[in-house]
């Protein structure tokens, strides 16, 4: 794996939200509740600045209590008693953010009591119950990045409450209301908090009737239903009034920073793709050490590019500037993952969804249509990339763009929510985290893990081991079949190309099925040439198998040479020994089938013992299949040649009758088999000895350095 694409919320963070503070009309309110011995107590009452502000604060808290899809589960009772008197109910929602906001409103005195028969009940600060009829829910989606509800009060007022990301709320509210709230939103985002803005508007009966009719028509549409619903949502959520904003903390997952450092050390590049605000995501990237303090950040965001008519020209200038800087400072990489990470300057790139759309889909009259290639070159030369305010399809576009680059690098995507499914499906390897936002990600992934930290062991240990096993499996199959077929090919030059087989038909059939299949199967499932703990703790070891190192031309030629060498030894070794008629005590020379059986015996023992030499992690299963396969071959040869078969015309030939047993009566045959096996395996034994000497000298040198 060369590139890792990860979500932020629920993947790098816990997705366990805690309400920190809120801002109402520019006034900040910190959490006024503390917990002592498991019970909540109030440190002090809220400070109100006149009746108008108090009404706005109450409106804000009502919005938090009403604008959500939270459900209430009553506490279980045992023998008529409730386990926790102070906690008589539990909030349930697909979004932890909504639960945190409802709990935050509860701390300030407004409690959501539940939804019953389309009526939402809340309890206000005066301990009075308020009823609101829920008319419509405009559900959240990753493209709009907001949700709304339309409710009717007991007095007949029609209210629309909306909450969402600042980038989606600010363009839809009165512009003079934005600045006093934006300061708090930006500061909270820089502190690493997740921010949401809250807005409302009062509807007339005529306006509501129009919205109700349009929503029903869109829901009943047989064609383009999603587009029509989005159009109604867009028209409805307009000309609102901003009330305030919230700040929710999402703590970093345990060992997230250490995991990212290890992945970087292993030569992998980590990209964070998130829908969160840039400042929040940036703070998280510093906390998890994706960005270092020495990293120079390159920004391609709306803040830098601007929103004027010249934004494409400005984007072109920035792309050229960054491209020139990176080309001059970063040397060309020809070693794949074995790249130099000790550059004169590390660079990180930050881009948002709006700018990405401009790059991937430039307008027809744009001064440059080559944005995508330049952008890709910049990304590939950065040590880390942060993509914020991303829609799910944009996440998939990023993964596809990298996956289709020259060299086709292996990509991995990891996420926990439904909005991560598209990028998980797009990557070569998809990892799903079983989080709090449902099981869509894990169900659509290749592998599922509980936490982000498990990615370290999954890649550095199991990924390393399985690559070595599979690579060895592929090379070994070519090797053992070359050893098998080469003597048969050479034999044709000595039998006048008469199609006379060297091996008996039973041996031809059972070589790959029975005699040599189980040892390599056990090896490819159980082999651990390096301890798992060592692989996990030393990320540099992963780089030794990067870039498909074990399936390149060099190792392939080595295995091919080894197979050809051993095939020549098998055939010509037995051939030259057959020149001596003293192989039998009575002076007779062995026949054709005896010749082939000796070659086949040396072949089976050599390729099996070769695998035994390669095995570093011995289990009872390895012992059983390796020595058992050799024992089975000997047993089968005695059995096959020791019985007179009269079952079918094919078996009546009896060409192998007593051949194997008669062959082993010659002491010279025993010596020949042992000698040829040793000669065949000598290069491998010599290579292992030299490798062990080199490793020991390297360990001693590291010990004294």
For residue 152, give every residue at least 6 positions away whose Cβ sits within 8 Å of its Cβ, in sequence order, or none. Answer: 132, 133, 135, 158, 159
Question: Is 124 a known ligand-binding residue?
Answer: no
State the Cα–Cα distance between residues 546 and 406, nearest whole angstrom.
17
Yes or no: say if 425 and 396 are a contact pair by the CB < 8 Å rule: yes
Question: Is 275 a known ligand-binding residue?
Answer: yes
Would you state the structure tokens that stand for residue 245, as one six-digit string?
């904003």
Question: Is 276 a known ligand-binding residue?
Answer: yes
Distances, alpha carbon 273 to alpha carbons 258, 260, 352, 406, 416, in Å: 19, 15, 10, 22, 12
Which helix (H) or strand (E) is 354 found in, with range? helix 353-360
Q: Is 573 exposed, middle or buried (0-12, 13-18, 19+ CB in 10 A)?
A: buried
Which helix (H) or strand (E) is 251 found in, with range? strand 241-252
Does the active-site annotation cover 7? Answer: yes
Question: Is 155 a known ligand-binding residue?
Answer: no
Give backbone dihedrals phi and psi of 513, rounded to 5 degrees, phi first: -85, -45
Angle between helices 178-190 and 278-287 (to 10 degrees): 10
Question: Is 684 a known ligand-binding residue?
Answer: no
Question: Is 456 a known ligand-binding residue?
Answer: no
Question: Is 117 a known ligand-binding residue?
Answer: no
State the Cα–Cα distance between residues 429 and 14, nearest whole angstrom.
23
Question: Is 250 a known ligand-binding residue?
Answer: no
State the Cα–Cα distance between residues 108 and 213, nearest whole angstrom.
37
Question: Is 703 a known ligand-binding residue?
Answer: no
Neighbours of 361 (CB within 10 A): 11
Question: Is 123 a known ligand-binding residue?
Answer: no
Question: Is 419 a known ligand-binding residue?
Answer: yes
Question: Is 293 a known ligand-binding residue?
Answer: no
Q: What is the dihedral of CA 547, 550, 551, 557, to 10 degrees?
A: 130
Would you state the structure tokens that stand for residue 606, as one six-digit string?
């050599």
Using the 8-state DSSP alphabet, how is residue 370 labeled?
Answer: -
Q: Which of these is catalytic: 7, 97, 166, 352? A: 7
Letter string b/e over residues 205-225, b meaning 16 or more CB atoms within 10 A of that residue's CB: eeebeebeebbeebeeeeeee
For residue 389, give every residue at least 6 positions away whose Cβ sits within 8 Å of its Cβ, in sequence order, or none. Answer: 145, 165, 167, 275, 276, 277, 278, 352, 353, 354
Question: Is 153 a known ligand-binding residue?
Answer: no
Residues catalogued as catalytic: 7
Q: Which residues are annotated as a binding site?
A: 7-9, 98, 140, 163, 194, 274-276, 389, 395, 416, 419-420
Q: Which residues are annotated as a binding site for Mg(2+)?
A: 7, 9, 416, 420
Q: Which residues are annotated as a binding site for ATP?
A: 7-9, 98, 140, 163, 194, 274-276, 389, 395, 419-420
């Amino acid at each position: 794996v060369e590139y890792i694409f990860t979500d932020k919320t629920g993947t790098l963070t816990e997705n366990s939200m805690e309400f920190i503070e809120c801002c109402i009309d520019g006034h900040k309110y910190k959490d006024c509740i503390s917990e002592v011995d498991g019970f909540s107590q109030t440190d002090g009452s809220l400070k109100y600045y006149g009746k108008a502000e108090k009404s706005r604060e109450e409106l804000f808290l009502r919005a938090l209590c009403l604008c959500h899809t939270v459900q209430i589960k009553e506490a279980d009772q045992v023998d008529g008693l409730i386990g926790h008197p102070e906690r008589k109910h539990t909030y349930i929602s697909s979004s932890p953010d909504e639960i945190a906001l409802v709990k935050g409103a509860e701390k300030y005195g407004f409690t959501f009591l539940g939804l019953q028969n389309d009526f939402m009940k809340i309890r206000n600060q005066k301990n009075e119950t308020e009823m609101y009829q829920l008319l419509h829910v405009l559900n959240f989606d990753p493209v709009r990045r907001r949700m709304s509800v339309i409710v009717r009060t007991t007095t007949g007022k029609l209210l629309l409450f909306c909450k969402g990301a600042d980038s989606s709320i600010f363009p839809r509210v009165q512009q003079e209301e934005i600045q006093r709230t934006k300061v708090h939103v930006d500061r909270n985002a820089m502190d690493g908090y997740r921010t949401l803005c809250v807005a409302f508007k009062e509807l007339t009966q005529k306006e509501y009737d129009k919205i109700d009719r349009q929503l029903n028509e869109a829901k009943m549409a047989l064609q383009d239903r999603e587009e029509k619903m989005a159009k109604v949502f867009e028209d409805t959520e307009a000309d609102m009034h901003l009330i305030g904003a919230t700040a929710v903390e999402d703590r970093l997952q345990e060992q997230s920073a250490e995991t990212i450092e290890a992945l970087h050390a292993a030569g992998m590049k980590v990209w964070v793709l998130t829908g969160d605000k840039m400042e929040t995501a940036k703070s998280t990237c510093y906390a998890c050490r994706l960005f270092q303090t020495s990293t120079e950040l390159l920004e391609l965001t709306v803040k830098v590019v601007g929103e004027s008519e010249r934004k494409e020209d400005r984007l072109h200038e920035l792309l050229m500037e960054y491209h020139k800087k990176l080309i001059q400072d970063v040397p060309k990489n020809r070693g794949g993952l074995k790249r130099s990470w000790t550059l004169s300057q590390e660079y990180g790139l930050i881009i948002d969804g709006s700018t990405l759309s401009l790059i991937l889909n430039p307008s027809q009259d744009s001064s440059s249509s080559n944005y995508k290639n330049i952008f890709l070159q910049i990304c590939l030369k950065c040590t880390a990339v942060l993509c914020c305010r991303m829609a799910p399809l944009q996440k998939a576009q990023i993964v596809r763009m990298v996956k289709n680059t020259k060299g086709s690098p292996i990509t991995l995507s990891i996420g926990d929510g439904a909005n991560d499914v598209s990028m998980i499906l797009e990557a070569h390897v998809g990892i799903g985290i079983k989080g709090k936002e449902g099981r869509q990600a894990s169900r659509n992934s290749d592998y599922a893990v509980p936490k982000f930290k498990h990615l370290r062991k999954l890649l550095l240990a199991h990924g390393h081991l399985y690559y070595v096993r599979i690579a060895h499996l592929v090379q070994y199959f070519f090797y053992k079949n070359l050893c098998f077929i080469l003597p048969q090919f050479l034999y044709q030059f000595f039998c006048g190309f008469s199609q006379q087989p060297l091996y008996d038909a039973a041996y031809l059939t059972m070589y790959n099925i029975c005699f040599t299949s189980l040892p390599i199967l056990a090896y490819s499932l159980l082999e651990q040439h390096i301890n798992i703990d060592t692989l996990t703790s030393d990320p540099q070891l992963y780089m030794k198998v990067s870039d498909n190192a074990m399936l390149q031309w060099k190792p392939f030629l080595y295995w091919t040479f080894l197979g050809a060498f051993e095939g020549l030894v098998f055939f010509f070794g037995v051939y030259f020994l057959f020149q001596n008629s003293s192989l039998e005590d009575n002076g007779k020379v062995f026949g054709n089938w005896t010749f082939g059986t000796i070659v086949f015996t040396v072949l089976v023992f050599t390729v099996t013992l070769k695998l035994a030499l390669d095995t570093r992690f011995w289990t009872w299963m390895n012992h059983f299949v390796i020595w058992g396969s050799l024992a089975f071959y000997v047993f089968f040869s005695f059995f096959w040649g020791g019985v007179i078969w009269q079952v079918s015309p094919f078996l009546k030939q009896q060409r192998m009758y007593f051949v194997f047993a008669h062959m082993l009566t010659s002491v010279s045959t025993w010596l020949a088999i042992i000698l040829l096996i040793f000669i065949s395996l000598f290069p491998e034994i010599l290579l292992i000895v030299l490798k062990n000497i080199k490793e020991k000298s390297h360990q001693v040198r590291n010990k004294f350095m």
